[in-house]
Structure 1
Amino acid sequence: MAHLTREEVLRSGEVSPEYRKAFEARPCNIFGRDFFAHRAARAEHLSKLRHLYLIPAPIPDKVTETMHNVPTRDGSSIRVRVYQPVIGPPEGRSPLIMMYHEGGWSMGDLTDEDLNCRLFARELGAVCVNVEYRSASHVVNLHTMLSYYRLAPEYPFPVGVNDCWDALKWALSMSPYLHATPQRGLIVGGSSAGGNISAIMALLSRDEHLDPPITGQYLSVPALLPSDRVPSHLTPLYQSRSTSTSDPVLGKLNDSGILSIYAPDPNSPLWDPFNHPDGHKGVAKTFFQVGGLDPLRDEAVLYDRKLRESGVLTRFELYAGYGHMFWTNWPELERSEEFVKDTVRGVKWLLEA
């Protein structure tokens, strides 16, 4: 769609009647009394909905799925799931897509990006690598279970980001064996925290002169600009964090608890892609999907503008009246199905020369 005016962006924050009916009939009950109860409730909630997804399970006649262990720089390893099309693209050259899951840098697993990876392999002939990076609370111990605000993080920042970069380098080194041709296209993508990580991967690709380079980034409802890092002249345009109180997933976003677990360095370019010290010129083309009701809406709008001002080609889809991760929490909605189909179209656009 064409880039929207500020008035259109603000109007997109009015709750859609269809959406309100859905979340009032089935509230998103994922909020526990402490962090670990919240994480468990989130996982259970999503597991009960996946049968409603466009592709609810593996499709072995179309896509093969295999598990792999990827070594990390600290001597550990992480899991990835690789999705390969049974029948590749007509020219026999499958692009490579790396997907990083959501979950506030402290939750989530491979199931969160199964749907997208299956779709990209089936519809676009891509080889997809679904990365289970170590989140801040990946391992539970007695000390961390004391309370939400007294967590001793097992894998704080930047372990998860480093894992994602290590997985990307692994996938490139293994691309002949995975039957992927990253020169045909190398995409990074994810939602929410995964969108943050994807934006960072795209910046690292430019700064580290990755060969072949990342050619596209898919940023879905991404976290891109921390609230304590907003330039003063942009404060009037950074409203959704405080005004989007009707969002049934995030509500009035207060991320102090999650950030106390993740413990990012506020000045690190591995945390805050918006304020990257070297700017954004030369970063890969970008596809955004953003909910108008989402508290993260305005930082995506501002990042889109910053990229375009830096000469980066972007495509922006705004879902007026819908909130954070609405298509996974209410997958039966017509708008949710449209969102998923838009995702495939947008990533296809990223792969076009």
Structure 2
Amino acid sequence: MNPLLKAALRLFAAPRVNMREDYERVRRLQRQLAALPRPRYRAASWRTIPGDVTSRVPVRVFEPQERRRDELLLFFHGGGWVTGDIESYTPACATMAELTGADVVSVDYRLAPEHPFPAGLEDCFQIVHRLLEDPSLAGRDDADRIVLMGDSAGGNLAAAVSLLLRERGYRGARQQILLYPVTHWDHDPATAPFESVRHHGEDYRLTSTEVQDYMQMYVPDPLARQDPRVSPLMAEDLSAQPRTLMITAELDLLCDEGEAYAHALEAAGNEVRIHRVEGALHGFITLPRFSRSLRDAYEVINTFLDEGHLAGSRETPPGGTA
């Protein structure tokens, strides 16, 4: 990256925002930015997944103008478990539906600090579990067509849900797409095990200070941050996990830990594909659809889904039977 662009990006570095004090203001700003210009999509509707009334979690459903595949992308948004919601991610989900040709279901899980760990995770788990057990709730007759997907903290939640499904003895998803996820608990440049935290933790869109603030709000107990449900890389057993696409961003402090998790999944016998988007910053999935980074990622995502569709009849879903 040339020095002029790098200097410009430093102006937007997150240490200038104290997330623990300003998260509500950031939430409002995100919603305002997402509403301008007004996103275009064929359909968006609120639903709740039937179940115990105390555990209903709202979702928003996005349909592409032209449906080109049967998969349903069950999406968990990013935002450090603290910011982000269905409204702020509506443009990204509408783009997701159009560029994949698949229905997208965006999950409105509870946010910290009002609802710390494991509240948001349990919301995501309940949605995934119910849809895998009864895909007709999502208009599907085959649970293998449900693909877990998330970016950043949402990628963390998708990975953690997959681990929980196996741990609790339930059927798992056959495929998951993890976009620059959080997979480890330590993002202090002085102690973190990953060089990308030191190389990219101060200059770009997401900083180590911001991630540490998010982690403190999501999991107030420092010891609990090493729980595999928070830090999937800490899991002792990564077997029987979904076929996984790991997409990382070259200039993201989370790049190394995302790829480390992918390699750990592969070492445990899972099918994994890793793709690093060159020159990309954290959060690029929310960029306009003409962005090179976004187009690069969706080419890989569509190939992954196409290959998974062809292989689907020969595979056994994690925790289930063919």
Structure 1 segment 228-307 matched on structure 2, within 5 A = 235=193, 238-253=194-209, 255-263=211-219, 265-277=224-236, 279-307=237-265
Map of 2:184 onto structure 1: 225
Map of 1:205 onto structure 2: 165
- CA separation of 1:122 and 1:80: change in aligned 2, threshold 3 A: same
By how many angstroms is 1:72 displaced?
7.6
2:40 pairs with one of 51, 54, 58: 58
Query: 2 CA distance for matches of 1:119 and 1:331?
Result: 7
1:114 pairs with one of 81, 90, 95: 90
Q: Deviations over 1:310-344 (max 9, x none)?
A: 12121111123332114536776433443344444
Map of 1:69 onto structure 2: 48
Query: Any idea what SS the aligned residue of 2:258 has?
Result: helix
Query: 1 CA distance for matches of 2:78 and 2:306?
Result: 21
Q: Does 1:183 find its partner at 2:143?
A: yes
TM-score by length of 1: 0.73
Q: Deviations over 1:27-74 (max 9, x none)?
A: 46795355353442365257436768xxx62322xxx32201347879
- CA separation of 1:19 and 1:204: change in aligned 2, threshold 3 A: farther
Query: 1 CA distance for matches of 2:27 and 2:203?
Result: 16
Map of 2:126 onto structure 1: 166
Q: Deviations over 1:270-320 (max 9, x none)?
A: 11211213x112211111111111111111121121112112121111123
Kept after mapping to 1: 8 A contact 2:73/2:102? yes
Map of 2:152 onto structure 1: 192
By how many angstroms is 1:89 displaced?
5.1
Query: 1 CA distance for matches of 2:3 and 2:140?
Result: 44
Q: Does 1:41 find its partner at 2:26?
A: yes
Query: Any idea what SS the aligned residue of 1:255 has?
Result: helix
By how many angstroms is 1:215 displaced?
0.8
Query: 2 CA distance for matches of 1:29 and 1:268?
Result: 26
Q: Which moved more, 1:103-112 or 1:199-208?
A: 199-208
Q: Which moved more, 1:198-207 or 1:288-297?
A: 198-207
Query: Any idea what SS the aligned residue of 1:318 has?
Result: strand
2:74 pairs with one of 86, 98, 102: 98
* Identical aligned residues as a percent: 22
The letter for the 1-side match of 2:241 is V
Kept after mapping to 1: 8 A contact 2:201/2:207? yes
CA root-mean-square deviation: 3.5
Query: 1 CA distance for matches of 2:292 and 2:7?
Result: 13
Kept after mapping to 2: 8 A contact 1:287/1:350? no
Higher relative contact order (CA 8 A, sep 6+): 1
Structure 1 segment 132-151 matched on structure 2, within 5 A = 132-137=108-113
Q: Does 1:82 find its partner at 2:97?
A: no
Structure 2 gaps of 5+ residues are 312-322
The letter for the 2-side match of 1:127 is D
- CA separation of 1:226 and 1:112: change in aligned 2, threshold 3 A: same
Query: Any idea what SS the aligned residue of 1:59 has?
Result: coil
By how many angstroms is 1:216 displaced?
1.0
- CA separation of 1:283 and 1:89: change in aligned 2, threshold 3 A: same
- CA separation of 1:352 and 1:223: change in aligned 2, threshold 3 A: farther
Map of 1:8 onto structure 2: none
Query: 2 CA distance for matches of 1:331 and 1:22?
Result: 22
Query: 2 CA distance for matches of 1:347 and 1:18?
Result: 38
Map of 2:315 onto structure 1: none
Query: 2 CA distance for matches of 1:21 and 1:46?
Result: 27
The letter for the 2-side match of 1:226 is W
- CA separation of 1:274 and 1:196: change in aligned 2, threshold 3 A: same
The letter for the 1-side match of 2:147 is I
By how many angstroms is 1:86 displaced?
6.6
The letter for the 2-side match of 1:334 is R
Structure 1 gaps of 5+ residues are 1-14, 138-153
By how many angstroms is 1:98 displaced?
1.2
By how many angstroms is 1:165 displaced?
0.7
By how many angstroms is 1:257 displaced?
2.5
Query: Any idea what SS the aligned residue of 1:281 has?
Result: coil
Kept after mapping to 2: 8 A contact 1:202/1:214? yes
By how many angstroms is 1:242 displaced?
2.1
Aligned residues: 306
Query: Any idea what SS the aligned residue of 2:94 has?
Result: helix
